[in-house]
Amino acid sequence: MKVNNFSIVFVGTSSGKTSLKRFHSSLLVKSHSFNLLIDCGDGTSKALLSQGISIDLIDGILFSHLHPDHSAGFPSLIVQMKQLKRVKKLKIFCHKNLAEILRMFLHQTFVFMERSSFEIEYFEFEHGEKIVLSEDFKFISKQNSHLDEYVNYLDGRKAGFACSSFLLLLGERRVYYSADIGSEKDLDLFRDQKPEIIITEAAHIKWESILDYIETNQPEKVYLTHLGDELALELKQKIDSLPKILIDKIVLADDGLIVRI
């Protein structure tokens, strides 16, 4: 009998546009040994509360990039942890360009860890590095093109410039999580690893590109997230008009969806 050791909870599935039906981006990957929250968009504390997920079970937070729909819930989530008198250390995983900004984000919002019952430890990674969370839970990041259009506005400031897509290694299973991407090319970042499960955002990529990817790579399942209300409606109609084999393969994620791996 196959035992599911991992589950992925779609905590928040909206895009940058605020919705009454969906919270901003956050994904919780649960395992028996480590529970990782990926991104922490505006309102993530409330999303967790509304889904009955204990904030205390989060062992670490991984950031893809710092757009507010992926990061603005961070100080507030730390405040909730402080109020619940958390004891265990919280691990923060981010590309090395983001760590100082995240530290300052807490500092500038008067969330001082010196006044807290728990510690935060930052793990700064380079793209391509394999990060080991536990014996059977690892991830690798790669830079995608989501932020490329912002390069000209940086004015020489390099800090904060990193946007990652992730390959999650869950036991023997490989899950690609695109986070926010720039184009369909980013879907191929881990193509050589042949991920069986694809979780892709759907706001910055054409529907046809998603179908092309499925046809070429034949993943087991594709989950679409990062959806505005109108886009969700449009994609639902498009999925419903597909042949049954594709309808069974493509899932439009809603907040609270739990996938067992």
The three-point CA angle 21-214-41 to 5° equals 30
Beta strands in the chain (DSSP E): 6-12, 26-31, 35-38, 60-62, 90-95, 120-125, 130-134, 137-143, 164-170, 173-177, 197-201, 221-225, 250-252, 258-260
CB of 253 to Zn ion, least distance (A): 14
CB-wise, 40 or 133, nearer to Zn ion? 40
Site string for Zn ion, 166-185 (x = CB under 5 A): --------------x-----
CB-wise, 42 or 69, nearer to Zn ion? 69
CB-wise, 133 or 210, nearer to Zn ion? 210
- 107 contacts 76 by C-beta, under 8 angstroms: no
Instruction: Please give the Cα distance from 33 to 137 (Å, whole number).
Output: 8
CB of 54 to Zn ion, least distance (A): 25
Rg (CA), the chain: 18
CA distances from 62 to 96, 167, 209, 247 (A): 12, 13, 27, 31
CB-wise, 171 or 182, nearer to Zn ion? 182
CB-wise, 69 or 186, nearer to Zn ion? 69
Single out the residue of 39, 42, 59, 69 in contact with Zn ion (rule: CB under 5 A).
69
Site string for Zn ion, 94-113 (x = CB under 5 A): --------------------
Binding segment for Zn ion (CB under 5 A), chosen from 50-58, 69-77, 80-88, 241-249, is 69-77
CB of 195 to Zn ion, least distance (A): 21
* Closest C-alpha to 146, from 184, 185, 181, 95: 181
The residue written with tokens 């904060």 in the block is: 160
CB-wise, 180 or 186, nearer to Zn ion? 180
CB of 15 to Zn ion, least distance (A): 6
Binding segment for Zn ion (CB under 5 A), chosen from 10-18, 108-116, 209-217, 243-251, is 10-18
Does 39 interact with Zn ion (rule: CB under 5 A)? no
CB of 47 to Zn ion, least distance (A): 15
- Which parts of 12-31 interact with Zn ion (CB under 5 A)? 16
- Alpha carbon 87 to chain centroid, angstroms: 25
- 174 contacts 199 by C-beta, under 8 angstroms: no
CB-wise, 59 or 69, nearer to Zn ion? 69
The residue written with tokens 């899932």 in the block is: 251
Total binding residues for Zn ion by CB under 5 A?
3
Q: Which residues bind Zn ion (CB under 5 A)?
A: 16, 69, 180
